[in-house]
Chain A
Amino acid sequence: MNVLDVVSGVLIVSGAFLAMVGGIGVLRLPDVFGRMHAATKPPTLGLVLVGLGAILQLDQIADVTLLVLVMMLQFLTAPVGAHLVGRSAYQSGGQLDADTVIDELDDAD
């Protein structure tokens, strides 16, 4: 039980906790846009934390490179995917929750 194991364990547990927060947010939030928000940001940070924790446990430089590649890929693709889904959901209409306070796209264009 050395220091590296402790640091890696803390990183992995906190990353998994963030991912769980994202899952609960997807279950609890009222409309597509809130759910998308919860499904994109916390799990991405959670994946980065878990990846950092896993890097501390691996000893081959090639494996570390692959993990960094996966984390960068998730960082780049998660916002793009969420943006595409949000755009198409807004355009298909009627997706906003009734409690929405301001809809700035409504009076754009």
Chain B
Amino acid sequence: MILATNIAFGLISIGTLAALVRLVRGPSLADRVVATDLFLTFLVIGSAVLAAREGRAAYLEVMLMVAVVGFLGTAMVARFIERRGA
């Protein structure tokens, strides 16, 4: 189990770094919103892996809150782009 979660943490780290590079570069605002959404999804996945590794449920509430906040943020910034453009 420790081995599997270590491999999973490595893969998630690579994906998170890719999302961060896109967040910094990302020419338009929509690219950055997409990258932020993906970044929060990685946070949720990482918390799930941590919960499986420790066998504890303390991280599950964090997952729920991050998922909700991520969706609300994406929806609000999407409305903002729609009104403002670019």
Residues of A with Cβ closer than 8 Å to B? 5, 8-10, 12-13, 15-17, 19-24, 26-27, 32, 35-36, 39, 43-44, 46-47, 50-51, 53-54, 56-60, 62-63, 66-67, 69-70, 73-74, 77-78, 80-82, 84-85, 87-89, 91-93, 95
Contact = CB atoms under 8 A, between A and B. Distances in A.
17 contacts: A23-B14, A23-B16, A23-B38, A27-B21, A39-B35, A43-B38, A43-B42, A47-B44, A50-B45, A50-B48, A57-B1, A57-B52, A77-B70, A77-B71, A80-B71, A82-B37, A85-B77
Interface residues of B, number: 53
Given A32-B31, A57-B51, A78-B41, 14 more contacts: A9-B4, A12-B4, A12-B8, A23-B14, A23-B16, A43-B45, A46-B45, A47-B41, A53-B48, A73-B64, A80-B75, A81-B74, A84-B75, A84-B78
B8 A13 contact: yes
Contacts of B49: 12, 16, 50, 54
Interface in B1-55: 1, 3-5, 7-9, 11-12, 14-19, 21-22, 28, 30-31, 33-35, 37-38, 41-42, 44-45, 48-49, 51-53, 55
B22 to A, nearest CB: 5
B67 A22 contact: no
Given A10-B4, A26-B19, A89-B81, A51 B38 contact: no
Contacts of A10: 4
Nearest to B13: A20
A32 B48 contact: no
B68 to A, nearest CB: 7
Given A8-B4, A15-B8, A81 B44 contact: no
